[in-house]
């Protein structure tokens, strides 16, 4: 073709037929699914990730015009059009955000007004993830209005009966099978708070809280309770109480129809004046009334309708289930309201009554009852003759609703048709084939996938649709197919268009009498999943590489910061030992405070990295809880005093053993973070640290720790994010008070690793309380009481020879000054090669090696000297001086043969203690 300005042009054409066919198939599938969803008898809607409607079925909005309008609109816009309250829209938006954030289903009950009054819907949002995140959210709704009204009626009934029990002048207590209180009325215990505390306690636990009880009272009550459980009968006894007061006690076990114990009702009546006839009669009548009430409660608790019909055709007795059924039963209507169906049902009931009275034998039938709503329900009716208290003949009837069983039986009759429809309409790929791999039948889903009609598939071999390299494997699979266990397989096939697809197939070998065996196979197209899995593996590998790079970066930055920081703090410590003027001392204090603050920030960042990288290991050693709490309080006491705040530490009762197993350092870190935060955000008032013992058992101590302040508080909308890393309550708070926002995030993670949950309660302007609960095990044997550390006796190192290998001049100078002040003879070198030469040729009592040095590293020097043929030189104590703060680094140094590690910046006392410990174990080289 001619193109102006060019000699020729090249035209490329691409065949998009397959793409168009796939697009058409997808459109047909969408139409099919939407037609199915429109017939579902529940509300169904589909949203995109921005909460916009993608699909709405008629149950959500019957009006087709409104449904069409809703597509592309947000839920809030739809609520405004449908005139729902703003609270409904807000609730939906919050649930939608939670479902996306948590990637799980979120359900709630929604109340809305309609033309009939109020309706309740149980709504659920289910996020559906895709390869790149949440693609859509499926919302469903079920009408639960009837259930809500039924629950309200049940609550009213419970309140009605409890109000009656609460007004009874008789002690009433209800127990479960373990003798735990379920209910206590005011006649038994007048104090409502005590009654509330009793619920869930056993008799023994309750009486233990009530001093001055008569001797043997608990044993007596437990004996009669056991007797009532054993004999399954009422137990009555007289109990003498202080006063003196004589009580008539009764225990009555209540069993369900299946014989399982439901509850035990205990009652007590004061019969102190029982010798007076009038009092005896009054109490007998009260006891009789109680028995009648109890019988009524038991009968009313039955789910089956129970009633006694007298000769006049009216019920002489009926339980609650029967009375409730009368409201909905068309049999209770009169006159012309009874149609022919109801009349026929009544005739069947009358005939059964006549049969029972005539034969004086029990009989049962399955009868139908038509409700006032027109619904037909099925009941198993059992009738037997029985005399009434006045001697008149009657019929006792028990009616059980078996509608669910009846309908299940009817459902079974439709199962065969449903199986056929399931295979035909299922989107699963279902087929049958013989043991040679010849297709016997296929469902439409296979036709659609392969692009071939059934008549071109049935009778052909399955391997004709597979890649040639899989042909032999198919026959081997069929030959080894077990019965009846399924064997999932991933196979690759070719469609009519030549496209490769991956199928996940389950096959079952079926053998019926008199028929050749065949195979039933079902599967799904997992092409997208296979491709996504490959992409996921690649993403996982990249994420792991990023994590390793992040950890290496943090380790490097930690080393680069700690090295000069060791010089700053070390020089400050040396300067502190010189004569200073008052302003100079204040400047020095400020410099040390800033250095330690920088070190604390660095440690926080490293702790957060360890936590997120799951490298943090907790210690498990004995320690004293009281000492840990008092130590945290003492650490911040000066800061609280400087701000004029009242700081208190509230411990538990005296006499409690505070020794437990755990990580004292990390607990101290959490308490210190919470106390520091409380002091920082409190301008006036007080800060309190406390601990409440919730349970003290031989196996462990359960303690609730709390830190309370009267500071600025935290707004409710900010509390949900307060535990996020690098987060503070607000930008204004961050600017005003400073900080990194890591303390609470680290504390929350540490508490979680120790088995607790860090929670907060706060009121803006009134203060905040942080609390967490831990269960700490007891040590196997009592530990010796901790002795205060002795003051360093630096003369003990005088005359000892030490090799110092440090390439940083400032850090080397500091270490030399400190060691020589202790009277040690120091040989300082600036690289690992010189250090190894000295260790090989000269005797030393100890060696201090930096890790990163020119030439040989500290680890390389250690590895080489440990192989020295002279055992004295090969075992010289070596301390690693390192700016690497990760536990994995320390473990590597110890594995290389070093005796101890000291992280920069370090305290003089820590270095001294290590030298004393190591030199006490090592022989003097001069003696060898």
Taking the mean position of all CA atoms in its chain, how far away is CA 465? 48
Mean pLDDT of all residues belonging to the chain: 80
Q: Which has the closest alpha carbon to 897: 885, 880, 917, 914? A: 880
833 contact partners, CB below 8 Å, separation of at least 6: 854, 855, 856
Give me the mean pLDDT over the 379-405 stretch.
85
- pLDDT number for residue 430: 87
User: Is 580 strand, coil or helix?
Assistant: coil
pLDDT band at 726 (very low <50, low <70, confident <90, very high): low
Q: How far apart are CA 53 and CA 891, in angstroms?
A: 56
- pLDDT number for residue 275: 47
Q: Is the pLDDT of residue 320 over 90?
A: no
Residue of 612 and 861 predicted with greater confidence: 861
Paired sense of beta strands 376-387 and 393-401, if any:
antiparallel
Neighbours of 606 (CB within 10 A): 19
Q: How far apart are CA 649 and CA 689, in angstroms?
A: 5
What tens digit of pLDDT does each residue of 467-520 get? 777 777 777 777 777 655 556 777 788 888 888 888 888 888 888 888 888 888
Place of tokens 């052909």: 460
Give me the mean pLDDT over the 687-702 stretch.
90
Give me the mean pLDDT over the 188-210 stretch.
86
- Tell me how many degrees the CA angle 325-328-329 measures, rounded to the nearest 5: 75
Q: Is the pLDDT of residue 900 over 70?
A: yes
Asked if 583 and 642 count as a contact pair (C-beta separation under 8 A), the reply is no
Q: Is the pTM of this model over 0.75?
A: no
Three-class secondary structure assignment of 319-374? CHHHHHHHHHEHHHCCHHHCCHHHHHHHHHHHHHHHHHHHHCCCEEEEEEEEECCC
Q: Percentage of residues in the chain with pLDDT exceeding 70?
A: 81
Give me the mean pLDDT over the 391-418 stretch.
83
166 contact partners, CB below 8 Å, separation of at least 6: 185, 186
The sign of the dihedral angle between the CA atoms of 608, 614, 620, 625 is positive
- pLDDT number for residue 734: 45
What tens digit of pLDDT does each residue of 207-264 get? 888 777 777 888 888 899 999 989 999 999 888 877 777 888 899 999 888 888 889 9
What tens digit of pLDDT does each residue of 625-658 get? 988 888 888 878 888 888 899 999 888 777 788 8
Paired sense of beta strands 181-184 and 801-805, if any:
unpaired
Give me the mean pLDDT over the 96-106 stretch.
90
Q: Is the pLDDT of residue 153 over 60?
A: yes
Residue of 542 and 661 predicted with greater confidence: 661
Whole-number Cα distances in Å, 441 to 473, 729, 754, 804: 21, 66, 60, 85
Q: Is the pLDDT of residue 417 over 70?
A: yes
Most confident of 3-17, 289-303, 342-356, 715-729: 342-356
794 DSSP assignment: G
pLDDT band at 769 (very low <50, low <70, confident <90, very high): very high
Q: Is the pLDDT of residue 696 over 70?
A: yes
Q: Tokens for 456?
A: 């071109």
Q: How far apart are CA 762 and CA 768, in angstroms?
A: 4
Asked if 873 and 843 count as a contact pair (C-beta separation under 8 A), the reply is yes
- pLDDT number for residue 835: 92
Q: Burial, 725: exposed, middle or buried (Cβ in 10 Å; 0-12, 13-18, 19+)?
A: middle
Q: Tokens for 291?
A: 């028995």
pLDDT band at 708 (very low <50, low <70, confident <90, very high): very high
Asked if 805 and 832 count as a contact pair (C-beta separation under 8 A), the reply is yes
Q: Is the pLDDT of residue 731 over 50?
A: no
Q: Is the pLDDT of residue 611 over 70?
A: no
Determine phi and psi for 453, rounding to 5 degrees. Answer: -75, 165
Place of tokens 């037997």: 384
HSE of 589, CA atoms in CB hemisphere, 13 A: 7
- pLDDT number for residue 729: 47
Q: How far apart are CA 434 and CA 342, in angstroms?
A: 56
Q: Tokens for 180?
A: 């735990």
Q: Which has the closest alpha carbon to 69: 80, 50, 49, 87? A: 80
- pLDDT number for residue 33: 58
- pLDDT number for residue 158: 74
What tens digit of pLDDT does each residue of 831-885 get? 999 999 999 999 999 999 998 888 899 999 999 999 999 988 999 999 998 877 5
Partners of 245 in beta bridges: 241
Domains of the chain: 38-132 (3.30.450), 149-300 (3.30.450.20), 305-410 (3.30.450.20), 414-525 (3.30.450.20), 617-777 (3.30.565.10), 794-927 (3.40.50.2300)
Neighbours of 179 (CB within 10 A): 19
Q: How far apart are CA 341 and CA 793, in angstroms?
A: 107
- pLDDT number for residue 330: 56
Q: Is the pLDDT of residue 29 over 70?
A: no
Q: How far apart are CA 504 and CA 526, in angstroms?
A: 6
């Amino acid at each position: 073709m001619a193109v102006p300005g060019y000699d020729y042009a090249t035209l490329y054409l691409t065949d998009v037929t397959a793409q168009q066919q796939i697009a058409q198939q997808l459109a047909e599938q969408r139409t099919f699914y939407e037609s199915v969803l429109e017939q579902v008898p529940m509300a169904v809607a589909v949203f995109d990730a921005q909460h916009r409607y993608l699909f709405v079925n008629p149950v959500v909005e019957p009006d087709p015009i409104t449904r069409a309008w809703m597509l592309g609109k947000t839920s809030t816009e739809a609520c405004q059009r449908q005139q729902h309250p703003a609270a409904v829209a807000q609730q939906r938006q919050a649930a939608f955000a939670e479902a996306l954030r948590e990637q799980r289903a979120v359900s709630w009950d929604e109340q809305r007004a309609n033309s009939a009054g109020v309706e309740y819907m149980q709504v659920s949002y289910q996020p559906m993830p895709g390869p790149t995140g949440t693609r859509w959210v499926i919302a469903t709704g079920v009408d639960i209005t009837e259930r809500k009204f039924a629950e309200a009626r049940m609550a009213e009934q419970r309140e009605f009966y409890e109000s009656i029990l609460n007004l009874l002048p008789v002690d009433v207590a209800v127990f479960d099978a373990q003798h735990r209180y379920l209910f206590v009325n005011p006649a038994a215990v007048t104090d409502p708070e005590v009654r509330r505390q009793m619920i869930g306690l056993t008799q023994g636990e309750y009486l233990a809280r009530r001093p001055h009880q008569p001797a043997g009272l608990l044993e007596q009550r437990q004996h009669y309770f056991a007797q009532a459980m054993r004999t399954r009968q009422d137990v009555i006894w007289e109990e003498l109480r202080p006063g003196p007061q004589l009580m008539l006690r009764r225990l009555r076990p209540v069993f369900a129809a299946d014989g399982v114990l439901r509850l035990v009702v205990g009652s007590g009546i004061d019969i102190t004046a029982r010798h007076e006839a009038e009092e005896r009669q009054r109490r007998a009548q009260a006891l009789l009334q109680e028995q009648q009430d109890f019988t009524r409660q038991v009968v009313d608790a039955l789910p089956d309708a129970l009633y006694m019909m007298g000769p006049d055709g009216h019920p002489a007795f009926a339980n609650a289930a029967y009375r409730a059924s009368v409201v909905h039963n068309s049999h209770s209507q009169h006159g012309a309201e009874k149609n022919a169906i109801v009349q026929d049902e009544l005739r069947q009931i009358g005939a059964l009554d006549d049969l029972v009275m005539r034969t004086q034998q029990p009989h049962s039938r399955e009868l139908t009852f038509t409700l006032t709503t027109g619904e037909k329900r099925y009941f198993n009716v059992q009738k037997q003759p029985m005399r009434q208290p006045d001697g008149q003949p009657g019929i006792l009837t028990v009616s059980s609703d078996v509608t669910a069983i009846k309908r299940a039986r009817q459902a079974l009759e439709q199962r065969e048709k449903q199986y056929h429809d399931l295979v035909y309409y299922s989107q699963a790929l279902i087929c049958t084939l013989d043991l040679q791999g010849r297709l016997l039948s296929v469902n439409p889903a296979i036709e659609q996938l392969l692009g071939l009609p059934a008549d071109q598939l049935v009778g052909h071999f399955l391997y004709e649709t597979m890649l040639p390299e899989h042909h032999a494997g198919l026959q081997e699979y069929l030959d080894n197919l077990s019965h009846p266990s399924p064997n999932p397989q991933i196979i690759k096939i070719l469609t009519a268009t030549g496209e490769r697809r991956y199928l996940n197939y389950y096959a079952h070998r079926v053998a019926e009498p008199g028929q050749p065996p065949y195979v039933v196979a079902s599967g799904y197209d997992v092409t997208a999943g296979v491709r996504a899995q490959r992409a996921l593996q690649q993403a996982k590998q990249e994420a792991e590489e990023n994590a390793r790079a992040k950890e290496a970066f943090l380790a490097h930055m930690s080393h680069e910061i700690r090295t000069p920081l060791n010089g700053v703090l070390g020089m400050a410590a040396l300067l502190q030992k010189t004569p200073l003027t008052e302003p100079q001392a204040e400047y020095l204090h400020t410099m040390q405070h800033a250095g330690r603050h920088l070190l604390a920030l660095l440690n926080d960042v490293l702790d957060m990295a360890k936590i997120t990288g799951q490298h943090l290991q907790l210690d498990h050693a004995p320690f004293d809880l009281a000492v840990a709490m008092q130590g945290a309080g003492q650490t911040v006491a000066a800061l609280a005093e400087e701000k004029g705040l009242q700081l208190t530490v509230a411990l538990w009762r005296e006499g409690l053993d505070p020794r437990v197993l755990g990580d004292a350092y990390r607990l101290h870190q959490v308490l210190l973070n919470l106390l520091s935060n409380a002091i920082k955000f409190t301008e006036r008032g007080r800060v309190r640290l406390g601990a409440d013992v919730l349970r003290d058992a031989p196996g462990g101590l359960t303690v609730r720790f709390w830190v309370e302040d009267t500071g600025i508080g935290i707004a409710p909308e900010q509390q949900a994010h307060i535990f996020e890393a690098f987060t503070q309550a607000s930008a204004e708070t961050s600017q005003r008070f400073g900080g990194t926002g890591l303390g609470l995030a680290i504390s929350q993670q540490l508490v979680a690793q120790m088995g607790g949950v860090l929670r907060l309660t706060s009121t803006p302007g009134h203060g905040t309380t942080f609390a967490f609960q831990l269960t700490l095990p007891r040590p196997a044997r009592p530990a010796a009481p901790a002795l205060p550390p002795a003051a360093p006796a630096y003369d003990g190192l005088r005359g000892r020879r030490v090799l110092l290998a440090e390439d940083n001049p400032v850090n080397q100078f500091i270490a030399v000054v400190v060691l020589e002040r202790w009277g040690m003879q120091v040989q300082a070198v600036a690289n690992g090669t010189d250090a190894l030469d000295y260790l090989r040729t000269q005797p030393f009592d100890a060696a201090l090696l930096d890790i990163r040095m020119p030439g040989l590293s500290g680890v390389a020097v250690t590895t080489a000297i440990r192989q020295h043929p002279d055992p004295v030189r090969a075992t010289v104590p070596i301390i690693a001086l390192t700016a690497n703060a990760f536990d994995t680094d320390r473990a590597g140094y110890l594995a290389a043969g070093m005796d101890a590690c000291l992280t920069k910046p370090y305290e003089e006392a820590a270095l001294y203690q290590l030298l004393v410990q190591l030199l006490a174990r090592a022989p003097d080289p001069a003696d060898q």
